[in-house]
Amino acid sequence: MSMSLTKVREHRTIIIVYFILFVLVVISAFSSEIFLRPRNMANILRQAVGIGLVSIGQTLVVLTAGIDLSVGSVISLTSCLTAGLMMGRNSMFLPVTALVLAIGLAIGFMNAFLIIKTGISPLIVTLGTMSIIQGGALVYTNAAYGEAAPLLVSFAWGQLGAVPVPFLLLVGVGAAGIFVLKRTPFGRHIYALGGNEEIARRSGVKTDRVKVFTYMLCSLTAVLTGLFLAGRMGMGDPLIGAPYMLDSLVPVLVGGTLLSGGKGGLSGTFAGIFILTVLSNALNLMGVSGYWQWIVEGAIILGAVAFYEKR
């Protein structure tokens, strides 16, 4: 009995956040008769993909006591380059995908390199790189541009039975992330770095290397989001990633990962992803203005941070 209580205490944050998700689903189901229909359920799963992929990478960075505000501009740049270079040609699908993935890895490396070499806060460094990358996207095109390859569009809108195909990508990336955090030395080093960088360094953890790989993975998930959004829209948009700069933090914080680093994980982030997605979907079905949704989202961030930091 005592062992069961101990496990409950250890995982109470996860239990709380999934209970909140369950209550939200129940309330939404009673608020709208459309909510539980298969078409709307598939829509929720598809909506979860964009915010979900980038939130996975953001979780890894926040666990190291960092933050990456450049993810939104990486998404915008990826969207524009993908559609602009593919121009509706399937023959360009693989080379363009490889190119934007390489660019994402380079951006992540640059973020980590600047943080390590200058000692400047990750908040300031990634705010600066965000501005540079977003400017680059707008120089490339200042309006909707290009055409995604039919293969990418088919992937973004594909269904496997009742499940959207892109959602399977989200599940795969999330499962890989959970495995890395829980079962590998790299995952343990991420937690150690976020807990106390100096102690981690003295314990033999190559903290600089951990930072580099973590920021590279974060940018990589942002690129995946940009590819998905380009396929979903069928074209590139230089401003499509703007909301994700802060939206990518909401599931992380709601899921119990502390901004101070070292505590939390992807299990909670997944609950946070669906809390945000279900809430947005339910409010849309009820005809609530998008402006009010921003207010609700801001209140959720403040409430979650206050609750977890106090605990």
Span 120-178, pLDDT tens digits = 999 999 999 999 999 999 999 888 889 999 999 999 999 988 899 999 999 999 999 99
Most confidently predicted of 64-68, 193-197, 256-260: 64-68
pLDDT at 1: 47
Q: What is the pTM of this model?
A: 0.91
By three-state DSSP, how is residue 145 classified? strand
Average pLDDT, the chain: 90
Q: CA angle, corner 271, sides to 15 and 288, nearest 5?
A: 120
- Report how far Cα 282 is from the mean position of its chain's Cα atoms: 21
- Residues, the chain: 311
User: 44: which 2 tokens?
Assistant: 């929720």
The answer to whether residue 204 scores a pLDDT higher than 70 is yes
**Average of per-residue pLDDT across 16-20:** 88
Interval 272-292: pLDDT, tens: 999 989 988 888 888 777 777
Cα–Cα dist 138/143, whole Å: 8
Interval 68-78: pLDDT, tens: 999 999 999 99
Interval 119-134: pLDDT, tens: 899 999 999 999 999 9
Q: Which DSSP symbol is given to 263?
A: S
- Report how far Cα 294 is from the mean position of its chain's Cα atoms: 18
pLDDT at 142: 87
- What Å distances lie between residue 250 and 70, 175, 240, 300, CA to CA? 15, 20, 18, 8
pLDDT at 260: 84
Cα–Cα dist 282/257, whole Å: 25
What is the torsion angle, in degrees rounded to the nearest 10, for the CA atoms of residue 175, residue 180, residue 184 and residue 189?
Answer: -150
pLDDT at 303: 75
Interval 213-248: pLDDT, tens: 999 999 999 999 999 999 999 999 999 999 898 889
